[in-house]
Structure 1
């Protein structure tokens, strides 16, 4: 079941079913198989269902025997069978075979502490009629999103922000206070939201409304104590055991299931372990791009094919040259919020492809954050060596770096881009150096871009660093990622783009027990002598061949930067033209022109910031100007005709 929404009225008036229905119609794509609602005076909860488990009997809302507890849940509870057996032993009666029903009886047995017993990805709403209390919540890592709107009359919630825009009197307005953070990072981090008056409930958070009062609290955080008393071989065995168990649990389904396969370590490990637990060949799906050198850098099909042959999967692959102009308005409508990560395009295309065969897909998302798979995690490693150089040599290197060209879509220029970024940040503190790697545009440049910088602008990275604890440098980076980029970029786009085609995507590498294990692992074991994912790769040595374990890291995105210099140059020019920018009233045209020129001349790789600006304008035409995505797409096509 994949879309929930609801309303609690503070004024005591009854919720109107037609409003719940209107909210559900906005997210029909999340649950085309079924719908349902329950209204009890001032509280109404509702759902749109994608049938995955107990196809015939899993209709929601679910209720207990005497109708005093009602539940809607989006996602999956992977340990539901064990919990069900335990509850049945305590004489709880189950009406269905649905995984979500265990939540009702666990809440009845243990109160709010029931949340700690769940292993899964979920957002939910539970109405306790006895206490006249609404409880909503979100899973630990934030795999499933949940948006909240609260004003003097009501508190409303939904799996997608667009459902809240169906409420009477609510209109889409830009929250200018979060624009600076959006341009800084390329996405909007929780609890902020691009819509004024709407916010995202953070991961691992519960919110209760009772007696007209709202209470919100965090029920889980990453452990920040690193274990030094465990040997490398013991870590390797524990990681492998927990990963295998996570994959096994997440394969539970009453409908066809498959896996995304890029040929990288994470997706290959998931597919290999799925093959060990399936009597039938696993269905796998891969995507590549047709074109020249830039497209070839993102084409991982040969690696995916190698893994598919190794595990005898039913493999399908697609080579695309996507019509980005037609896609962007549609995908940004589904995303709810603009972003600069081109992986949302790739994820949609491969999800659409896989949905021809399956309803459930497993993904390798999260492995890089858990086990040190990004090059940015090597900053501290190389900074130690850099500081051993004489001062004069470091000054010379920094001066030279400022004049290096940068372009991520050329192998040579991408190497220069990475060197440029490292040398520019090598003298910074660890936290500031990491910020420089994460940012799309530094905060000084953002202030120069905005007409109204806004003194109260949000800084989600500062909040994440403050909460990261005192673990070693690598684990602090992981803690920051787990609070920001992981839930509000990667997981958000994974959820929105897979659900856009009614496909449920599961992420076994983000099983919370595996996450807790990884968080306690010392940096010296996660990475060894500059080798990314050292321990994780060691745990998979008997599963994957060396050419897959040690292949060069590639991102799961598109060659957007190259397209902006070629076929999409007219689109870039028109979306960021003076009349458009002036009419929107957010940015200084001179600063926009400087960014466009610097990208075109390879003085900087401006892919992310230019796409952030373009996507914000397209998003504005859809949500602020109230235009149909199809109509906007036709307009954009005219720019490049």
Structure 2
């Protein structure tokens, strides 16, 4: 895993300022401390930059890398797990290789198949490829958006990078808030691709590439999941196939020339990955777990230790306090670069830091809940049709008022609010949003602001692909391409790379995902059992008590901290006269939200975290605009 950056003055062909190019590489040093490199074309108007974290082919994997005659150049971030098979096929066509790296396979695959080669790559990646013969620059992001890539385009240039900091080193890039993206952020607690909160800086959508050729810029999609739901009859046969896919995915992603370990929570997903790794590895693997102080009831330290002892891993753990959170939150915002308000980000950074002191690569259990239906919203969507069958007067005048009168219970209130909506896309929006409609109207300072139309586009983007799916599988499909790449995978990349650690996600292996997305909903939820088929399959590897355990997820004590230890910090940041959030949201409403949360009348931890994160982000990247 590495960091890429670059610039192409495609219209007027002015030479790239080499001092700026050096700075673009320098600001992403943390992504690749082992090596750096750059390439300038003969005209000097194209620059590709690279920072390397050496994982595969330690001695000859320097980048930028070219083909034999120097007509194709690439900078690459990520891993291609099926590169040995592709390399063997390419050799049969007469291609000759100078290195043992997966990067060179991409170059020769492009020579052989052109842009169609991108859909053959099973891995996590973002790369920029310069075709000198065609005078074309191509920037590509993997199908599930595991690796990020950002870009800025004006009428003369495109500037891109693994991180926004590289783009901001250029004087032509101004620092302004994109208000459309900002309200998307307040709705989702992250910004769906292709937008960022920076005006005119975008994220390339998963499975897409940018082409810059003949002085024009176009964006095209290269990866389409053409999987259809298959009416499987034999449950045992599906389980056998699923076991095979999971095992092969973990085995593929253990490829490395440096030590690897596993993030271990003690839940089903990470326990499965760690157990399979321990069976494949010739020596004990290293596992890493994070917990919280003050007897936090959702700690998973004991559960993780149980699995670690069972598989005989070399186990490490750490404990996070509210003081750690307050001190390091600005650090995490700095490395995230765009506001993402997920409570586990800081804890994930700290466990990555611990892991990076022992290994260069970790495998995680991330990415299983979305396709296998592991979240409460999935259970609600699966059975929501029965709620909508209740007569409307009974729902509107008895059930809904009763639920909304309860203290806190944010999840239950959101369920009632969302499940009553009969239109699929609008229902999904209600499921995702963190604020009730009436509260949103009070918060937003712009009169007549149509937040619903604004945010629906992010959901509708992926629904055409899933047109033939049932409602639950439609939601799972959206989850895997919306909240995963722009929230969980984004912070997974940024926090790991902040400490020069590569984090892999075997549950998002392309072959595994194609199979999982062909499975009907009835095998994903059975009664009240979520991830039903996955749990059946992984019983081959992990104990029954782990499978039966109630799902915790990456839970944190932010709820309690915002009521007590961090309440004054939140008030000071959000309610001071100079706060940035006052420009966009009603400060009096925010004040009442803080008070209601502290008094345990309502559960506002998610929106309050989103407000706090935005305030810190704005101070760092907009207010102090003279700093990177």
- Please indicate the TM-score interval, normalised by the length of the shorter structure: over 0.9
Is 1:419 aligned with 2:412?
yes
1:499-533 Cα deviation digits (max 9, x unpaired): 01000000000001111111111000111112101
Whether 1:397 aligns to 2:399 is yes
Q: Is the 8 A contact 1:258 1:282 kept in 2?
A: yes
- Please say if 1:97 is aligned against 2:100: yes
Q: Is the 8 A contact 1:147 1:161 kept in 2?
A: yes
Aligned to 1:308: 308
Does the Cα contact within 8 Å between 1:581 and 1:589 map onto a contact in 2?
A: no
Give the corresponding residue for 2:347: 346
Which one of 64, 73, 81 corresponds to residue 67 of structure 2? 64
Give distance in 2, aligned partners of 1:171 and 1:560: 34
RMSD, aligned α-carbons: 2.1
Match of 1:410 in 2: none
CA distance 1:117–1:463, change in 2 (3 Å): closer
Which secondary structure state, in structure 2, belongs to the residue aligned with residue 337 of structure 1?
A: coil
In 1, Cα distance between the equivalents of 2:581 and 2:548?
50
Q: Among residues 170, 185, 190, which one is paired with 2:188 in the alignment?
A: 185
1:421 deviation in Å? 3.1
Quote the residue 1:45 is aligned against. 48
Q: Give 1:246 shift.
A: 0.7
Distance 1:587 1:380 in 2: 31
On the 8 A contact 1:184/1:442 being kept in 2, the answer is: no
Deviations 1:380-429 (A, max 9, x none): 344345467677765433222111112xxxxxxxxx44433333444222
Identify which of 421, 426, 443 aligns with 1:449: 443
CA distance in 1, matches of 2:232, 2:332: 47
Partner of 2:77: 74
Shift in Å, 1:553? 0.7
State which drifts further: 352-361 or 162-171.
Answer: 162-171
Alignment correspondent of 1:170: 173
Cα distance in 2 between the residues matched to 1:436 and 1:87: 48
Summarize deviations over 1:340-370 as a string: whole Å, max 9, x none.
1112112101101111100001011010001
Partner Cα separation in structure 2 for residue 492 and residue 422 of structure 1: 26
Deviations 1:173-200 (A, max 9, x none): 1111211111001001100111011000
Matched residue, 1:508: 506
Query: Which position in structure 2 is the counterpart of 1:117?
Result: 120
Aligned mates of 1:446, 1:463 — CA distance in 2: 23
- C-alpha change, 1:469 and 1:153, in structure 2 (3 Å) is same
CA contact (8 A) 2:6 2:48 kept: yes
Conserved 8 A contact 1:449-1:588? yes
Residues 224 and 468 in structure 1, CA contact (< 8 A), matched pair in contact too:
no
Q: Does the C-alpha gap of structure 1 residues 588 and 98 become closer, same or farther in structure 2, counting only changes over 3 Å?
A: same
Q: For 2:59 and 2:90, how far apart are their aligned partners in 1?
A: 22
Residues 376, 502 of structure 1: alpha-carbon distance in 2 compared, 3 angstrom cutoff: same
Residues 232-257 of structure 1: CA deviation (Å, up to 9, x unaligned): 22211111111111100100111110
Counterparts of 1:470 and 1:515, CA distance in 2: 17
Indicate whether 1:270 and 2:273 are aligned: yes
Question: In the superposition, relative to structure 1, how do residues 582 and 625 fare at CA in structure 2: closer, same or farther (>3 Å)?
Answer: closer
- 2:23 match: 22
- Mark the CA change 1:628 to 1:611 in structure 2 (over 3 Å): closer, same or farther: farther
- Counterparts of 2:507 and 2:206, CA distance in 1: 17
Rounded to whole Å, the distance in 1 between the matches of 2:138 and 2:461 is: 26
Question: Partner residue of 2:212?
Answer: 209
Q: Distance in 2 between matches of 1:200 and 1:532?
A: 32
Deviates more, 1:463-472 or 1:126-135: 463-472
Mapped to 1, the partners of 2:437 and 2:157 lie a distance apart of: 36
Deviations 1:430-470 (A, max 9, x none): 54444333211245533432223656845423434455423
Provide the residue aligned with 1:321 in structure 2: 321
Deviations 1:313-334 (A, max 9, x none): 1111112215222211111010
Q: Which residue of 2 aligns with 1:438?
A: 432
SS in structure 1 opposite 2:526?
Answer: coil
Change (3 A) 1:567 1:81: same
Using a 3 Å threshold, how does the CA distance of structure 1 residues 287 and 250 change in structure 2: closer, same or farther? same
Partner of 1:412: none
Contact kept in structure 2, 1:73 and 1:122, CA below 8 Å:
yes
Distance 2:379 2:455 in 1: 28
In structure 2, distance between residues paired with 1:103 and 1:36: 18
Q: Distance in 2 between matches of 1:251 and 1:279?
A: 12
8 Å Cα contact 2:8/2:158 also seen in 1:
yes
- In 1, the alpha carbon distance for the partners of 2:331 and 2:320 equals 18
Asked if the contact 2:421–2:427 (Cα under 8 Å) also holds between the matched residues in 1, the reply is yes
**Contact preservation (8 Å) 1:5, 1:159:** yes
Shift of 1:21: 1.2
Distance in 2 of aligned mates of 1:389 and 1:133:
58
**Is 1:381–1:530's contact at 8 Å kept on the other side of the alignment?**
no
Structure 2 unaligned blocks of 5 or more: none
Match of 1:255 in 2: 258
Pairing 1:428–2:430 present: no
Which residue of structure 2 aligns with residue 575 of structure 1?
573
Residue 366 (1) aligns with residue 359 (2): no
1:627 shift after superposition: 7.1
